[in-house]
């Protein structure tokens, strides 16, 4: 399912080339992170940081020189993706950073909940290696991506 919506902010974002993108992946499952990191590298994204839980994600992201995109799992230990998103949005440096929900709890209801919570997009798991790079390119180009089915 693909659905186009307005982004959280009505301001136009400057497109980011994958080679210039700084990405933070918040994912507690090592094989999932490895898959995401490999797909990002395949796209030419060279700057990828990893955090394994939502706990103190805003503090960690705040220490990074730059963060253009955060791929945030919903089901995380200590603080889930929704709690982490609230803290990211409360941080002055990170409040306008693109944050995409990436979750195995993919459904219309979860996508609606993510939109209402203030996520900038939604990608359901299992990730489709044939589609994921295009989804990330579209997000970096400023397009809103709300897709939960992997077909």
> Residue 63: phi, psi to the nearest 5?
-80, -15
Look at the block and give the residue holding tokens 């395949």.
42
Does the pLDDT value for residue 133 go beyond 80? Answer: yes
For residues 54 and 62, the answer to whether their CB atoms sit within 8 Å is no
What is the per-residue pLDDT across 100-117, written as a single tens digit (0 to 9) for each? 999 998 899 999 999 999
**What integer pLDDT is reported at residue 11 of this predicted model?**
52
- Alpha-carbon distance of 56 to 29, in angstroms, equals 17
Q: Which CATH superfamily is domain 19-147 in?
A: Response regulator (3.40.50.2300)
- Residue with the larger pLDDT of the pair 21 and 148: 21
Q: What is the CA radius of gyration of the chain?
A: 14
- Alpha-carbon distance of 49 to 35, in angstroms, equals 14
**What pTM value is reported for the model?**
0.90
For residues 71 and 24, the answer to whether their CB atoms sit within 8 Å is yes
> Residue 121: phi, psi to the nearest 5?
180, 180
What is the per-residue pLDDT across 14-68, written as a single tens digit (0 to 9) for each? 999 999 999 999 999 999 999 999 999 999 999 999 999 888 999 999 999 999 9
- Alpha-carbon distance of 61 to 118, in angstroms, equals 18
């Amino acid at each position: 399912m693909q659905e186009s919506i307005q982004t959280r902010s009505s301001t136009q974002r400057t497109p980011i080339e994958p080679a210039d993108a700084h990405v933070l992946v918040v994912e507690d499952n090592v094989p999932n992170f490895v898959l995401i990191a490999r797909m990002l590298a395949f796209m030419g994204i060279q700057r990828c940081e990893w955090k394994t839980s939502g706990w103190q994600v805003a503090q960690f992201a705040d220490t990074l020189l730059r963060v253009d995109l955060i791929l945030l799992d919903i089901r995380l230990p200590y603080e889930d993706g929704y709690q982490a998103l609230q803290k990211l949005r409360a941080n002055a440096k990170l409040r306008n950073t693109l944050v995409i929900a990436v979750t195995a709890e993919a459904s219309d209801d979860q996508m609606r909940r993510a939109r209402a919570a203030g996520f900038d997009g939604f990608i359901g798991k299992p990730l489709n290696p044939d589609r994921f790079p295009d989804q990330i390119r579209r997000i970096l180009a400023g397009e809103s991506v709300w897709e939960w089915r992997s077909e």
